[in-house]
């Protein structure tokens, strides 16, 4: 549904005169701090236990394409992939729940794939600070390395961020540095990206 709305907006922009907008693409890499909170699960015996919080330092890959109807405004469809092989349980094992903690390995592998749309407002200058907001839908998996168990979460939520672009005076390519933040399915992440923004 989210991607359908974003595609509709971008296709609507295509009816504007060719000189009214420019299309762009972004490719960036970075790191994200991901917080998977405590949750109640059912173990192999059927008992309800508390699965502890997980802290993940994940790799990020960001891809986005979109249109810029004005020099200060951009609308794009983006995809964000996160992956890390060494997730660890949080040091905080205090819980307000009446259920016992689940006993298992403290290492796992975290994977996440999000897609959505983003609206960016920016200064039309060579060094261009910008703010962005949008909606992201995604799914996350946490696989335990020593046991055949998996936690899976999915959902849609508002996300936002800010950054700065450094435009080349000779080429239609800019270097970008960005902070982004999102929250879905009780999973929160704070990410930092560095990459390229190109107009074509």
Predicted local confidence at residue 145, as pLDDT: 55
What pLDDT is recorded for position 43?
A: 59
Name the pTM for this structure: 0.74
- Position with higher pLDDT, 34 vs 51: 34
Which pLDDT score is estimated for 132?
95
Three-state secondary structure call for residue 150: strand
Give, in words, the CATH class of 2-199: mainly beta
The position carrying tokens 């802290």 is: 55
Instruction: Judge whether 84 and 109 are in contact, CB under 8 Å.
Output: yes
How many angstroms separate the CA atoms of 105 and 147, rounded? Answer: 8
Query: How confident is the model over 76-113, as pLDDT tens digits?
Result: 888 888 887 555 665 444 545 554 445 545 566 788 88
Res. 161: pLDDT tops 80: yes
**What is the rounded distance in angstroms from the CA atom of residue 64 to the CA atom of residue 79?**
6
Task: Select the highest-mean-pLDDT range: 28-32, 70-74, 135-139.
Answer: 28-32
Closest CA to 47 of 92, 95, 96, 98: 98
Q: Give residue-wise pLDDT tens across range 27-46.
A: 999 998 888 777 666 656 66
């Amino acid at each position: 549904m989210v991607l359908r709305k974003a595609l509709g907006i971008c296709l609507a922009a295509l009816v504007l005169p060719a000189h009214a907008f420019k299309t762009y693409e972004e490719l960036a890499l970075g790191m994200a701090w991901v917080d998977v909170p405590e949750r109640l699960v059912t173990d192999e015996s059927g008992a309800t236990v508390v699965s502890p919080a997980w802290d993940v330092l994940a790799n990020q890959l960001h891809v986005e394409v979109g249109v810029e109807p004005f020099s200060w405004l951009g609308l794009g469809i983006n995809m964000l992939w996160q992956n890390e092989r060494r997730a660890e349980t949080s040091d905080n094992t205090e819980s307000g729940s009446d259920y016992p903690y689940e006993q298992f390995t403290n290492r796992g592998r975290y994977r996440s794939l999000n897609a959505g749309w983003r609206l960016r407002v920016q200064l039309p200058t060579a060094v261009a600070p910008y703010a962005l907001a949008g909606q992201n839908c995604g799914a996350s998996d946490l696989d335990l390395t020593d046991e055949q168990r998996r936690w899976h979460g999915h959902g849609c939520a508002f996300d936002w961020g800010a950054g700065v672009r450094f435009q080349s005076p000779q080429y239609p390519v800019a270097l970008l540095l960005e902070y982004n933040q999102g929250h879905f399915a009780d999973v929160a992440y704070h990410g930092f990206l560095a990459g390229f923004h190109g107009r074509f």
